[in-house]
Chains A and B, each alone.
Chain A
């Protein structure tokens, strides 16, 4: 963690270097390189099947790239397990909400604190003294997130019963509970109506500004992307076709072609 803390805003936090990924014969990502700077909002866009989600999966260690390297906070790695990514401070949300459906909102967010809680097994058995104190301390932290996301009323509701928009919000809360250095958001606004999108956008900006969290974001809503992000990577068929500020990307001919479906 200290590695990530030492990096100042604006310096490179994560760099993806020439990464390729294939499932059997299918190439999902081909030789993609880009970087994410500390405290920025970085968007990854591209048409369906461009390899965006696979890219996130590579970043947080769920897929192992066949080629290329990833450096996070100065440390370079080729293979990493998902929980190692978590220990390094990478959190994420999922395209199709991956909440713990049988647990309440509060428990879901508390689960995000797992890494921060370290009272041993025997204190856990008793749930007294230090274990309870720790539990209360983290509960306080989670309540702040709940407060921030305005989901007080549903804190004791099992998340399986919540509407989609709220589930997305809880998932964001769970990721925030990890106090991540890098937050990966996979289509946080998919399937939302305008009002929900506005709320979510505000949360994302607030998180970025309030906690200084670096955010990597996949989103299809171009309007949102252009407004929110500092820089954008564009992928198509697993290759990077553009990288730059919203204005630059908007003007890029390859991007326009990709989105309009011009054949190569």
Chain B
């Protein structure tokens, strides 16, 4: 009813090619941004205790995981290359950022967070090289080589963690205009704003890439690599570019995870294969080849278990924490299968179908 595009005429190709051609979508996105940038912080100020929990436990990690999911989606969803090495690429970003900020403490941490993406970019390209010869699941195994090798490096190369006795990244305090951005003194609110800005900005860039020539060449490689070649798309550069951009996003997400979410320190174990699986399940559920799906997936896989635990808590059922955890794990699996059966293209497709239905509502056609 209110979601109807009748009467919205596009008079230029530019208008038709906009990412959100429908007015209501633009309003919706605007509202979302408004809520994220004003509503949520306001809420957090009004209810500091809950607000803090909400920012630190839900919003910040949600945004960071969504960014990592976008990264993986560029590789797996848009270019069709399955990767099981996301965790390690995130780790490269985190360790690169740690090295950079300890070697050059004078430069602002946000610069280093973004710069660290280029390091994981480079590593990603190296491990993407086999994609010239290998396809499909074979390539997935090649990315496992990256995962285990990099993880080994994180533990074994003490230079990476500055020879700390703890063997972990110890996040030093970094400030912007005198406000702490990292470390224990950085408030969840500050970190939230930084994360939000970076994630929104990078999502915008990802959307630009995907809607343009480069995105089309990725999808062409994914859908029919032979035909893509005959369109003049070189496979290796296209795949390597996907690896590069994907790893950049994962790297930035990894660096943000350590510096703006954990904010104090992280063991290399954080970047284990489980992290890779975690992000992978997000894009499966959210929808392969969809930016908004990456957000949906992150929300479902990361936030849903928290809500489940919280529901079990509130309901007062006498279930042990362990049982809840087991049920959570099981439910995640069931949901993955369920969504695949209902809609193999993930929540993003469901969302689209929903929008389509709304568009023509109340008629079925």
Contacts and interface: CB of A to CB of B under 8 A. Distances in A.
Interface of A: 60, 62, 81-83, 85-87, 91-92, 94, 98-103, 107, 110-115, 117, 119, 121, 124-127, 131-132, 135-136, 139-140, 143, 174, 178
23 contacts: A83-B234, A85-B230, A102-B223, A102-B289, A107-B219, A111-B216, A111-B217, A111-B220, A111-B233, A112-B231, A113-B213, A114-B217, A114-B231, A114-B232, A124-B208, A124-B213, A127-B208, A127-B212, A131-B212, A135-B213, A139-B13, A139-B17, A178-B231
A136 B232 contact: no
A86 B12 CA distance: 31
A81 B208 CA distance: 30
Contact of A99 (B208, B216, B223): B223
Contacts of B233: 83, 111, 114
Interface in B209-246: 209, 211-214, 216-217, 219-220, 222-224, 226-234, 241
B193 to A, nearest CB: 23
Contacts of B229: 62, 81-83, 86
B227 A99 contact: yes
Contacts of A126: 205, 208
B213 A103 contact: no
A125 B231 contact: no
Given A86-B232, A99-B223, A101-B223, A140 B13 contact: yes
Nearest to B14: A136
Interface residues on B, range: 20 to 34
A92 B231 CA distance: 9
Interface of B: 12-14, 17, 205, 208-209, 211-214, 216-217, 219-220, 222-224, 226-234, 241, 289
Given A111-B220, A140-B13, A119 B232 contact: no
A127 B13 CA distance: 14
A119 B208 CA distance: 13
A172 B360 CA distance: 32
A5 B277 CA distance: 53
B201 to A, nearest CB: 11
Contacts of B289: 102
Contacts of A83: 229-234
Contacts of B227: 94, 98-100
A92 B233 CA distance: 14
A81 B205 CA distance: 32
Contacts of B223: 99-103
Contacts of B230: 60, 62, 82-83, 85-86, 91-92
Given A114-B233, A126-B208, A178-B232, A103 B214 contact: no
Given A114-B231, A131-B212, A174-B231, 10 more contacts: A60-B230, A102-B222, A103-B223, A107-B216, A111-B231, A114-B220, A114-B232, A124-B208, A126-B208, A135-B17
B208 A62 contact: no
Of A60, A62, A124, most buried by chain B (CB within 10 Å of CB) is: A124
A144 to B, nearest CB: 12
Contacts of A125: 205, 208-209
A249 B148 CA distance: 64
Contacts of B224: 98-101
A100 to B, nearest CB: 4
A45 B188 CA distance: 71
Nearest to B219: A103
A63 B48 CA distance: 67
Contacts of B231: 83, 86, 111-112, 114-115, 174, 178
A136 B13 contact: yes
A121 B214 contact: yes
Nearest to B207: A127
A82 B222 contact: no
A126 B208 CA distance: 6
Contacts of B228: 100, 111
